[in-house]
Amino acid sequence: MQAPFTSHHTVSKRVLGLFAIGIALTATVAVLGVILGMLADFAVKGGPELTWSFLTEYPRNSNMEGGIFPALAGTTFLVLLMTLMGVPIGTATAIYLTEFARQDSWFARSVRFAVNTLAGVPSIVFGLFGVGFFVQFVGKGLDTASGSSVFGDGSLLWCAATLAVLTLPVVIVAVEEALRAVPRELREASLALGATRWQTITKVVLPNAVSGILTGSILAVGRGAGEVAAILFVGVTYSAESLPDAVTEKFMHLGYHLYVLATQSPDVEATLPLQYATTIVLLGLTFLLNFSAIYLRSRLRRR
């Protein structure tokens, strides 16, 4: 009496499994189709403008002519500086929460609550925070203390600091997961051999979690490279005839440059090819930065 029921139940499970696979495959193809369609549209409409001079020249005539070299270089500088500022702080925070803090302490719970809250804050709020805290408070405070007028204005430095704060939750969560993935037995074996907790972390835990740390860096780069709202008031400029000589100067950004072309240009319709070409460059730069981090992670994994 049980055989027909078991057979019917098995067939039902197979049908449901095939149905789930079909839905997942359909969704994957749909997403891939949308992405490829967008890229094809950008390539067709912006490809003719994507020349060497477009990549190496400075903008002219209210950004309606010339190239995007200052914006390309400024975006690269910003992402690298943001990574140097945010990843070490996020990694150190994750190490403390995972290796030192008591998991049931009110302080650890408060930090995790703050991290989770920050992850859902709109990026424009980070931009206002950057203006109020980094520019007005820290920058003007440094100017008052040093008797100068270098730090109290928007700049590449404060934009990078703002994006570092924005990407901190991504880095902290990724590094925490990587540290927890390191087997507890490795820590116990290191401590049993006489190593201190700090030696165990630096010699055993971090080398085994380095790929996760780089994953956090990759996610931070992916989010920070295209952010515009967070740096809208903190240091980007409409146009520039030279690269910034120091991190305390304003700079051009590809995302903001695209926003300017689309909304602030004297003739928006005439700049449409430039908008599509700039979009291709921004996507390409983001891909290149992510690919570099992924390549470095794979090399470290093999070693």
Q: Kindly list the domain boundaries of the chain, sorted by start residue.
A: 2-47, 52-302
Query: Who contacts 166 (Cβ-Cβ below 8 Å, separation ≥6)?
Result: 123, 126, 223, 224, 227, 230
DSSP letter (8 states) at residue 242: S
* Single-letter amino acid code for the residue at 118: L
The predicted structure's pLDDT at residue 290: 75
As a whole-number percent, the residues of the chain with pLDDT over 70 amount to: 96
Cβ atoms of 93 and 173 closer than 8 Å: no
> Mean pLDDT across the stretch 6-29?
80
The predicted structure's pLDDT at residue 196: 86
- Of the listed ranges 99-103, 250-254, 290-294, the least confidently predicted one is 290-294
The predicted structure's pLDDT at residue 235: 87
CATH class of 52-302: mainly alpha
Q: Does the structure show a pLDDT above 70 at 8? A: no
Q: Does the structure show a pLDDT above 50 at 1? A: no
Q: 271 falls in which pLDDT band (50, 70, 90)?
A: confident
Q: 303 falls in which pLDDT band (50, 70, 90)?
A: low
The pLDDT tens digits of the residues spanning 44-92 come to 888 888 888 888 888 888 788 888 899 889 988 998 899 899 889 998 9
Cα distance between residue 260 and residue 268, in whole Å: 9
For residue 7, give Cα distances in angstroms to 2, 13, 17, 38.
9, 10, 15, 47
Q: Does the structure show a pLDDT above 60 at 231? A: yes
> Mean pLDDT across the stretch 235-240?
86
Q: What angle do CA 230, 138, 225 make, to 5 degrees?
A: 25
Average pLDDT, the chain: 85
The predicted structure's pLDDT at residue 162: 93
Q: Does the structure show a pLDDT above 50 at 187? A: yes
Q: Does the structure show a pLDDT above 90 at 191? A: no
Cα distance between residue 266 and residue 256, in whole Å: 16
**Mapping DSSP to helix (H, G, I), strand (E, B) and coil, where does residue 266 land?**
coil
pTM: 0.83
